[in-house]
Amino acid sequence: MKKILMTAMVCLAAMPTTAMAKGKTGCFTPADIEAEQAIRIRSELMVIGLNCQASRYRGTSENLYAAYRQFTADHGPELAAYEKQMLDYYRRSGVKNPEASLNTLGTEFGNKISLDVAKMRPDMFCYQYSPRMQKTKGMSAEQFRQWAHTSYASHPPTHPPCQ
């Protein structure tokens, strides 16, 4: 498991910084905020799935990476729409390579949760974070949109809302 974590962190750390980090973008519309939150959710679920795939936590023997893959398959249309929203945001903001910025956004979110993995014992990380994966089981498109629409003080948007 540590080998997977270290490989993921090296790959994620090698990614370039986003245009956002360079201050080249503006404010977020409510749709932009929701789309960014959905990208954050997907990134976090991926890291949870990769790090907890062969573990049993909270009464489940399910492979959590398989659960992540099922979530992305079940919510492909919503995720594609959120990606399109973020690409539109980057284009409106004058970013030269919107796709690279979108990819890096997901990487940055993955890096953030990977740091939590690195600070905790793997079993404790999986015990604490696996409920997020369980939350996705049977989640409808509307429930996913509601989750993405929910703001969390611990995960603020990367840009201020437009006034």
Return the pLDDT at 4.
Answer: 47
Work out the percent of the chain whose per-residue pLDDT is above 70: 80
pLDDT at residue 44 is higher than 80: yes
Return the pLDDT at 103.
Answer: 94
User: DSSP string spanning 67-108?
Assistant: HHHHHHHHTHHHHHHHHHHHHHHHHHTT-S-HHHHHHHHHHH
The CA–CA distances, whole Å, from 66 to 49, 69, 106, 128 equal 7, 5, 19, 19
Return the pLDDT at 25.
Answer: 58
Within 10 angstroms of residue 138's Cβ, the number of other Cβ atoms is 7
Of the candidate ranges 12-26, 50-64, 82-96, 148-162, the one whose mean pLDDT is the lowest: 12-26
Cβ atoms of 69 and 132 within 8 Å: the answer is no
pLDDT at residue 75 is higher than 80: yes
| Per-chain mean pLDDT for the chain | 82
The SS3 call for residue 120 is: coil
158 or 142: which carries more pLDDT confidence?
A: 142
- pTM here is 0.79
Type of residue found at 103:
N
Return the pLDDT at 58.
Answer: 56
Return the pLDDT at 57.
Answer: 57
Return the pLDDT at 120.
Answer: 87
What mean pLDDT is predicted for residues 117-136? 86
What mean pLDDT is predicted for residues 60-82? 91
Burial 43-74 (b: 16+ CB within 10 A, else e): bbbbbbbbbbbebebeeeebbbbebbebbeeb
4 or 163: which carries more pLDDT confidence?
A: 163
Q: How confident is the model at residue 126 (pLDDT cuts 50, 70, 90)?
A: confident
CA dist 83 and 88 (Å) reads 9
Spell out the domain ranges in the chain: 28-142
What is the 3-class SS of 123-151, one letter each residue?
HHHHHHHHHHHHHCCCCCHHHHHHHHHCC
